[in-house]
Chain A
Amino acid sequence: MSDIFEKYKDKLPGAVLEEIKTESKLNELTPAEITKVLDESVKEYDSALIAPGEAIGIITAESFGEAGTQMTLNVFHFAGVAEIQVTRGLPRLIELFDARKEPSTPSMEVYLKPEFTTNEKTIRRVASFIKEMKLEEISLEFALNIMKQSVDVDLDEEKLKLYGFKKEEIIEKITKGLKNVTVKETKKGITITSNSEETNLSLLYKIKEAAKLILIRGVPKIVQVLPKKEDNKYVILCAGSNLKEVLAMKEVEAKLTMTNNIFEISNTLGIEAARQAIINEALAVIENQGLDINIRHVMFLADIMTQTGVVRGITRGGISGEKESVLARASFETPINHLIDASLVGELDQLKSVIENVIINQPIPLGTGLPNLISKMKKGAKK
C-alpha cells in the first residue's frame, strides 16, 4: 500500500499525498484505484505548475495595476467603522507595498479573553485601560504659581470618579515620569515643585509642559478606543497601534488581536507573521474595493517583500533598488543617481534580465526568448 505512495514521492507534494492517503482509506479504495487517483493528481498538479519562462512578476504587477486603475484614486478615501477611520483603497495599497514604517491610519483590533467578555461593563473598563490617558485629559487647568515657584494642577473630579483614579496613584505616576520634582496633594488637585536649587520661570514652564503629557494610564500611542460587538464577539477597535504592549496585557486574547502596522508585527511576532499580515491587509483592500485579484499574486508579492527576513518595500530604497543591473535600477527611479553610483565603482551590467534587453533591443530572456538551441560544433568543421 505505502509503496504506491512511495513511487509518487517525487511527483506530488507531501500534503497532497497525505490527503490522498487519508481519503483513500476512508473510501476504501483498491490499489488500482489509488494509482488512478494518483495519476490524475499528477496530471492536475503538473498542469497547474507555472511553466519555465512565465513572466510571473509582470503578471503580478499587471494584476494589481489593472485593478488599481478602477480603485478610487482619492487619497482621502476612508472606509471607517463608526468613529475610527481606516485608510482603504489605493492609498492603503501603496503604503502597504512601499512598506512605510508607519501606516497613515494605524489601528488595532483587540480581542479579549472569554472571561472578560461577559458583560459590556468589563469590556468598557478594559478598553479604558488600553486607551492612553495623559494628565492633560483628566485636568482642568495647569497654572504656574510664581510666588511658590510651583505648577498647580486642577484635577477634574468628575473624570477621576469616572475612570476610578486616586490622587496618590496620579502623584506616583508624575514623580516617576518627571525627574527631580516633588508632588504634593492640594485641595483642588496637586502641586508640582522642582527639587533643583535653581528655579526659574523657564524651567517651571518646561515642567508644566512635560507634566501635561505624562501617561497616567493605558498603552502609549493608542489614541482612541471603541468597543464593538462583531458577529457575537466583542472587539475593541483602536486608533493607533502598539502591538507589543497590548499583547502583554492579561485581558487580551493574543491569538486574535491584530494590527495593521506590518513593521510592528515583524518586530514582535516575526517575519512569517509579517508576511501573512501583508497578505491579509492587501486582500482586505481588494475585497473592500470589490475587486478580484488571485491570492497567489498577493502571496508572491508578500514573499518577495519578506524573503530576506526584513520587510522591504517595492521602492528604490527597497527591492527595486537592489536589482543587480544598473540599467534596470536606472529605469525605475532617479536614473542619474544610479548611473553615477554605478560609475564610481565601475559596475558591469551582465544584461541578464528583462528591462536591459528591452533597452538594448535584444530578445528578452523570458517566454520564447528563454530557451536556446545549443549544439556542439564538430572539431575541424568549417565555420
Chain B
Amino acid sequence: MIDVFLNEAFIGSVVDVREFMESVKKQRREGLLPTNLNIGYDENLNEIHVETTKGRCRRPVIIVENGKSRLTPEMITKVENNQISWEELVKQGAIEYLDAREEENAYVAVKEEELTKEHTHLEISPVTILGICTSLVPFSNYGSSSRLIRGSKIQKQGLGLYCKNFLIRNDTDASILHYAQRPITTTFMHDIFNYDARPSGQNFTIAVMSYEGYNMQDATILNKGSIERGLGRSTFFRPYSATELRYSGGLMDQIGIPDKEVKGYKSEKDYRHLEDDGIVFTEAQVGSEEVIIGRTSPPRFLGSLEEFNVAANTRRESSINIGEETQGIVDMTILTENDEGNRLIQTRLRENRIPEVGDKFASRHGQKGVIGMLVPHVDMPFSSRGITPDIVFSPHSIPSRMTVSHLLEILAGKVGALSSQQIDATTFDNPSEESLRQQLLELGFSEDGKETFYNPITGQKFDAKIYTGNIYYLRLKHMVANKLHARAAGRIQLLTRQPVEGRAMGGGLRVGEMEKDCLVAHGASLLLKERFDSDKTILHVCENCGMFATYDYFKNRAICTRCGSETKVSAVEMSYAFKLFLDEIRTIGIDSQIKLKDRF
C-alpha cells in the first residue's frame, strides 16, 4: 500500500502506483481534473504526492505517447494560421505543465528525432533550456558556456531605454542611452520581449585588430569621431530628497536659505543656486558640494534651560548638497508630502555622459572591456571602401575565451547591415556560417568578412586583412565619472582618528594588511611608518607608572595625575589606534603600562 497525499495532507492509499498515476494523468489530460494539478511519485519515501496549490513553478512540455508527439503537424499548421490558441492545445491534451515533482518522474526528449517508447514528454523547443537573458545572446550555441553566463549577466548592466516614463520617475542610479538602436542580430527572445521598443545598445562597426597597444588586454579603442556624433552617449540621473521633519516640542526642520547665524553655515557661494524658497531652480548648473536644497534643523540636544531660549543661532545647518566629485544640471523638482504628512522635496540631477577613457563597453558574448584610448576620426584605420570602425577590438580576446559567437555576430551584423535586414540568430536555430559567407559574397564583399585596411598615419596598406563587421555593443553602467577618487588629507573618524572610508565621504584609500606585508617584504621600513602616520599622536607617558599623563596647556607641562608632579613625564609618538587599544584592554581589566627607555 502506498500512501497518497493531496497538498501534503494524507488522503488515502493505493495498491498499484502505476495504474493510479496513469489514471490521474489521463483524467487531467481529458479535462476531468484541473490542469493545474500535478502528481509525483517519490521512490525514496514511497509516497505519491498530488499538488494543486499555488506558487509552484511549472513549465510546459509536449505530451508523448508510445514514442509519438501528441502535438500533431495538423495542430501546428492550425496554430500557425491562428486557428487555435495555446489554451486550446493544453485543453486538447497536446501540452501539459509539469511541476518540479512531476518532472522527476518524466523522461523528456530534447528533440523530436530522439523520441523513443520510454519518453513521456518532448521539449517544445531546445531553447527552453535557456532563460530570458541567456536567450538574448545570438549564436549562443557557438560560444563557451562560461562566456554565455557572463554575456547574459552583462546584458543586465547595459544602458538603454529602461522604461518609457523615465522623465517622471525618480530612480536611483538611472541612465538613458541616447539613440539606442535595435540589434541587427536578434533572437526570438527579442521579438517576445518587444526589445526593439526598449533597446539597450547600439550597432558598432568593429575592426578586430591591434592599434598602437592601446587595446591590449581587455581595453578597446573607440573612434572619437563616432562619439562626437553621438555614439554611446548617455544621460545619468541622480535623485536627491529632503524632508521637513517634525521633532518633539513643536520644533521642526525648515526648508529655505539658511541664515548666516546658523551653526555650520557654509558660504554664500554654496547657496547661490537656491531660489527664495530654498530650492534650486531647474536647469541650474550645479558643481561639487554645492547646495541644492537649503534646510536648517533644530539643535540636536536641548538642555533644560535652552528649551525656553530657542534662538535662531542654535539651529544647525542640514542642507542637501550634491556631494563630492559630482556635478550636473537640475532636471526636475517635485514638491510633495511623505507618508507622515511632512513636506518632501525631491529633485533630480541630470548629467550628460560622453564616453571617456575608462568607461566600460561589452558585446553580448561576455566580451567586456574599457576604453583604452579615444582616437580622432582622422587617425582611425580605414578600409579600402573608406569605412572607419567605431571600435577596435583586440584579437587576443578571442582564442582563450573561445567566443565564436562574437565572431559570428560580426559576420551576421555585416550581412544584416548591408542587406538592411535583421538576422535571426536564435540559439540552435540560426543561419550557418556558410550561408552568411555566401550572402556576403553576393553583396560584393569578401566572403570571409575581411577587408583591406590602411594605416591612417602613414597611409600604407596593412599587411594583414582585417576582420570587420557590425556588432551590437552595450554601454555598461560602470563609468569612471562615478568611481574616480583620490585624496590627500581629509576627514577622519572620531574614534580612531584614522581617515574615513568611501568615495562619498572623501575617504582615504586603505593600505590594508596585504599592502602592509608588501612594504615589509621590501624592507621599506620608513615608508611603511610614513604610510601609517595618518593617526599619529604625541602622548605623554609617566615613566613611573606607565600610564598616560595629562598635558596642562596653561602651564605648558605634563603631569601624571596618579603619581603627582614629581615624576618624569616624557612625550612619545605613537599611533592613536594603539592608544585606543591600550585604553580598551584596560576596560576589560587588563592593566597595560608603557615602560620607556632611551633607544640608544
Contacts and interface: CB of A to CB of B under 8 A. Distances in A.
A and B interact physically: yes
Interface of A: 53-55, 58-59, 61-62, 336, 339-340, 343, 348, 354, 358-370, 372, 374
A48 B591 CA distance: 47
B590 A343 contact: yes
A334 to B, nearest CB: 14
Contacts of B589: 343
B517 A359 contact: no
Given A58-B517, A61-B517, A372-B600, A360 B524 contact: no
Given A336-B588, A340-B590, A361 B529 contact: yes
A53 B523 contact: yes
Complex A-B, nearest 10 residue pairs according to Cβ-Cβ distance, in ascending order:
A367-B523, A369-B525, A361-B575, A343-B590, A363-B525, A58-B521, A368-B525, A360-B578, A364-B525, A55-B521
Given A359-B575, A374-B600, A62 B517 contact: yes
A369 B526 contact: yes
B536 to A, nearest CB: 6
B521 A62 contact: yes
A363 B591 CA distance: 26
A355 B528 CA distance: 12
A366 B523 contact: yes
A59 B523 CA distance: 10
A62 B590 CA distance: 34
B501 interface: no
A348 B596 CA distance: 12
A290 B123 CA distance: 43
Given A55-B523, A348-B595, A366-B520, A361 B533 contact: yes
Given A358-B528, A361-B529, A364-B528, A54 B574 contact: no
Contact of B520 (A340, A359, A361, A364): A364
A367 B525 contact: yes
A282 B575 CA distance: 39
5 contacts: A336-B588, A366-B520, A367-B520, A369-B523, A369-B526
B578 A361 contact: yes
A361 B525 contact: no
B518 to A, nearest CB: 8
Given A367-B520, A374-B600, 20 more contacts: A55-B522, A58-B517, A59-B521, A61-B517, A62-B518, A343-B589, A348-B595, A358-B516, A359-B577, A360-B578, A361-B533, A361-B573, A363-B526, A365-B525, A366-B523, A367-B522, A367-B523, A368-B524, A369-B525, A372-B600
B252 interface: no
Interface residues of B, number: 29
Contacts of B588: 336, 339-340
Interface string B531-543: 0110110000000
Nearest to B575: A361
B520 A55 contact: yes
Nearest to A53: B523
A361 B516 CA distance: 12
A367 B526 CA distance: 9
A343 B585 CA distance: 10
A365 B525 CA distance: 7
B462 interface: no
B305 to A, nearest CB: 44
In this complex, the member of A62, A339, A366, A372 whose beta carbon has the largest number of chain B beta carbons within 10 angstroms is A366
A343 B591 contact: yes
B581 interface: yes
A361 B532 contact: yes
A374 B574 CA distance: 23
Contact of B529 (A55, A62, A348, A363): A363
Nearest to A335: B585
A65 B415 CA distance: 50
Contacts of B522: 55, 367
B521 A370 contact: no
Nearest to A358: B516
Nearest to B527: A368
Nearest to B535: A361
Contacts of A367: 520, 522-525
Contacts of A363: 525-526, 528-529
B54 to A, nearest CB: 38
Contacts of A364: 520, 525, 528-529
Contacts of B528: 358, 363-364
B532 A368 contact: no
